[in-house]
Chains A and B, each alone.
Chain A
Amino acid sequence: METPSAQAEPKSGDGVSNNRRSEPPAPSATTASGSRWFLIKFLKTLGSIAITMLGLLFVTFIIGRVMPIDPVISIVGERATKEVYDAAYQEMGLDKPVLVQFLYYLGDVVRGDFGTSYLNGRPVSEDIRRVFPATLELATIGTLIGIIVGVPLGMIAAVKRDSWIDQVARVVALVGYSMPIFWLGLVGLLVFYGILGWVGGPGRVGIFYVDMVPPVTGMILIDSALDGQWEIFRDAVSHIILPASILGYYSLAYISRMTRSFMLEQLNAEYVTTARVKGLSEWAVIWRHAFSNIKVQLITVIALSYAGLLEGSVLTEIIFAWPGIGSYITTALLSADMNAVLGGTVVVGLVFVCLNVLSDLLYSFFDPRAK
């Protein structure tokens, strides 16, 4: 986590050098060829997403099939007779060659059908629709906290390098990613819920509000707001704030350290000195010049940290009884429920790919040369 350059893709190098060149490359192409260029880029992106997902599916599928577990036993139980076992074996299509099984599976996935969970007999896509919004809600708020606190903290630490505030920021960040997250979660629950009673306990909403909001997006904060049920909204906020802060703390630790090192790199660059010599205000130097140049790198860092949280934080989910995708995949894995594991993996993979595409788009927005 501590090595920024390894995480922050080669583009960061461009981001640094870029500012020395004052002008973006002149748009030489005409509008017509511009739109064709855009179409090609679009198709290329789409193609690479498809190939990535296909590879992911294939690898996960094969691992799932060669794992030394018997998915049939997990459905029919140890006491099943041979007939029951064989019927289930055929029903699951396990008697066909692996490649054929994969092609069937692929066809289903393309239609949005991840099969049925062996464990609870429900369509996996339905399960994921239920658990993913819970994780999305939590990860988004966690990341927002990480950005809102982490970026300014990193900025101050860089600008006031080696001052007391830099030391404090360092300690905060160090604690953030060296403390086991389940410990932070338990202590947080004990203090803010158990002793102080400031926040709601484990779970997404209080017990009175369970099943009271019509599910639209699956995210209780949004659904209750859409429905105008502000009491539930407030209750949901009180439940999400602690786990989100814990995840937020974890991500702010990372984001603030990254911000600090990116900023230091910029502040030590010659163009900053030049800007200062030219008599620009320190505000302009820091925000307009230096900060503008770390935006691209920051996006990479934030996207990575966001994707990490969207994968589902198993320990946080378990401690806060948060029915998210992390604990869903883990439970499925431990019960050899391969359809659920595959479905979950595909969704997580899709999230990573989408975030990548999104940050690519943002690069070109912030970095004129990437257009």
Chain B
Amino acid sequence: MKRSSFLYFRKLLPNASRRAALRNITVAAVASVVIAPVLLVIPAQQTQAATPDNMLVIANRIDDITTLDPAQSFEFAGSDVIRNVYGKLVNFNPGDLNAGYEPDLAESWEVSEDGMTITFTMRDGVNFHSGNPVTAQDVEFSLRRVIMLEKTPSFILTQFGFTKDNIADTIKADGNTVSITTDKKYATSFVLNCLTATIGSIVDMKTVMANEVDGDLGNEWLKTNSAGSGAYKVVSWKPNESVTLQANDDFYKGAPAMKRVIVRHIQESATQRLLLEKGDVDVARNLNPEDVAGITGKEGIKVHNELRGRLMYISMNQKHPVLSNPKVVEAIKYLIDYEGMQNSFLKGQYTVHQNFLPQTYLGAIDDKPYSFNIEKAKALLEEAGVGEFEIEAGVREAQERIEIAQTLQNAMAQVGITLKITVGTGKQILTRYRARELDLYVGAWGPDYPDPQTNAGTFAFNPDNSDEIKATGLLAYRNAWEPGALGEKTAAAVTEGDVEKRRAMYEEIQREFLTTAPFAIMFQQIEQAGMGDSVSNLVLGGAITAASYWPVTK
């Protein structure tokens, strides 16, 4: 049957019944369209409430947490948790991070004549969450445990010469005291600063050993549980979802005001902002510059700025015949538009900082001798007599780093330097950087532990510059730079017992580093967190440590 005849037959059909059928379908469709919004409205009255007064809810990216065992954790979000759960021998006071370490579980300490042994006297009357008292034995166990487990961050302690074989002698509890003996004399401040790191957390020996499996020293159990004496205990950690902490009302510094702290994993900046604006979270920690601008000035919300430890720098490979000329190095330092970048694409996220110690580190200085000055750079290049040349910069695929490289590329073009920018994955670029193959590297560096040595020992220390040694962990080595006398000064600063003298040494090292090193340190990171107006006393840890929740009030 052809279509024309089909139409003919269709006309024969009763119109009424066809319309009835259509009406039925329409009703069904309309009904389902209407039902959906009704479903939406039913629960509406419940979603309006703000967070309770004694609960702190934080939106953060926590997908970097791999474990909550303090002997293994080496990530930002994990440090935030552990800092609030475990006590340490010495610790930073969130009220005054610049003051340096102060007594925590150790009430006092003494340094032996030879400067190699520190003996800590334990504070009385502090208990773990389990109710067990915190004793010198727990300290002995916790520190030995770090050496025995050999997890990634254990280098922070093993750099003092502790090994599996010698810990029976070097880390020892005796009654109410515990003593640690290093392999040679180190600055006391160096050792104590390292003990404030996550790795220095004191765990409850009895609880941990009760949960030991196959001689793992409780490593498996501590991944998801806690056995500390700090302000909070871990209720749950669900990877990529949330961490829930419950206040320890017996905390020796007083019960925290926030009885529950919940950190929710929220990947998207826009989502974090919405939650903050609705009052469903108190703090949003990963807002991008656009969202920070969006919430600035909004009622009930404030933006909290805090300097963190991350630095941005450009380094110049001394294997390159032209870049090894000190005049060229200096010229490049004048070709960086520090202010311009700080006020444009890095606005609010980074501030100009030209030394390798971030602010709040012992010995940090605020000298900023370099500024964007094309004429000066030109003059220096002429003095050097290098003419026009081409170099390659390696950049990891991160937006702001690429923009920094491009800004430099523009400036260099004005003085006859052709900059070829190679963008690659972290692995590609880092591999070449470590192999000392990059002329220029645009990168970031974050300190590993809260002592100036963490940066000084990598930027300004390179005892053997030969190709065979492969000291690829050192930034100075990666750029084939021999710091010479500066390296010796850096090594000396590590052993200086007097804190004030040590501070002065780092200040001096940095002033020299500023002018001679083939590193142009450019920026220090600022963390911008959005917060509800009522949240006060939340300290995110500055450059040296992690967030502290116990002083927070709402």
Contact = CB atoms under 8 A, between A and B. Distances in A.
Interface of A: 69, 76-77, 79-81, 83-84, 87, 117, 119-122, 127, 130, 145, 148-149, 152-153, 155-156, 159-160, 165, 186, 189-190, 192-194, 197-203, 206-208, 210-211, 231, 234-235, 237-238, 241-242, 245, 268, 270, 273, 276-277, 281-283, 285-287, 318-321, 323, 327-328, 331
B47 interface: yes
Contacts of B13: 276, 282
B52 interface: yes
Given A156-B22, A281-B20, 12 more contacts: A149-B29, A153-B29, A198-B47, A201-B47, A201-B278, A207-B280, A208-B49, A208-B52, A234-B43, A283-B17, A286-B25, A323-B265
A145 B35 CA distance: 11
A273 B1 contact: yes
B274 A120 contact: no
Interface string B26-42: 10110011001101111
B159 to A, nearest CB: 11
B370 to A, nearest CB: 30
12 contacts: A77-B74, A84-B152, A120-B239, A121-B223, A149-B33, A149-B36, A199-B43, A206-B46, A238-B42, A241-B39, A276-B12, A328-B240
Contacts of A320: 271
Given A84-B150, A203-B264, A234 B274 contact: no
B47 A199 contact: yes
B53 to A, nearest CB: 13
Given A190-B274, A318-B267, A328-B240, A76 B29 contact: no
B242 A210 contact: yes
A156 B265 contact: no
Contacts of A190: 274
Given A199-B47, A202-B275, A186 B66 contact: no
B112 interface: no
B163 to A, nearest CB: 12
Contacts of B65: 120
Contact of A281 (B17, B40, B151, B152): B17
Interface of B: 1, 6, 9-10, 12-13, 17-22, 24-26, 28-29, 32-33, 36-37, 39-44, 46-49, 51-52, 55, 57, 63, 65-67, 74, 150-152, 155, 220, 223-224, 235-236, 238-242, 244, 262, 264-268, 270-271, 274-275, 277-278, 280-281, 427, 448, 473
A72 B41 CA distance: 50
The 3 closest A-B pairs by CB, nearest first: A238-B43, A282-B18, A282-B21
Contact of B278 (A87, A197, A282): A197
Contacts of A281: 17, 20-21
B25 A234 contact: no
A119 B28 contact: no
Contacts of A79: 152, 155, 448, 473
B270 A186 contact: yes
A87 B154 CA distance: 15
A293 B436 CA distance: 70
Contact of A323 (B49, B220, B240): B240
A127 B271 contact: no
B43 A237 contact: yes
Contact of B267 (A127, A241, A321): A321
Given A148-B32, A201-B274, A282-B18, A207 B262 contact: yes
A76 B149 CA distance: 12
Contact of B67 (A84, A121, A202): A121
Given A120-B67, A201-B280, A238-B44, A270 B1 contact: yes
Contact of B22 (A81, A160, A207): A160
Contact of B41 (A193, A198, A327): A198
A62 B243 CA distance: 35
B47 A207 contact: no
Contacts of A186: 268, 270-271
Contacts of B26: 156, 165
B40 A77 contact: no
Contact of B36 (A81, A121, A127, A245): A245
A192 B277 CA distance: 14
Nearest to B39: A241
Contacts of A160: 22
Contact of A211 (B9, B43, B236): B236
A159 B262 CA distance: 53
Contact of B274 (A149, A193, A268): A193
B101 to A, nearest CB: 23
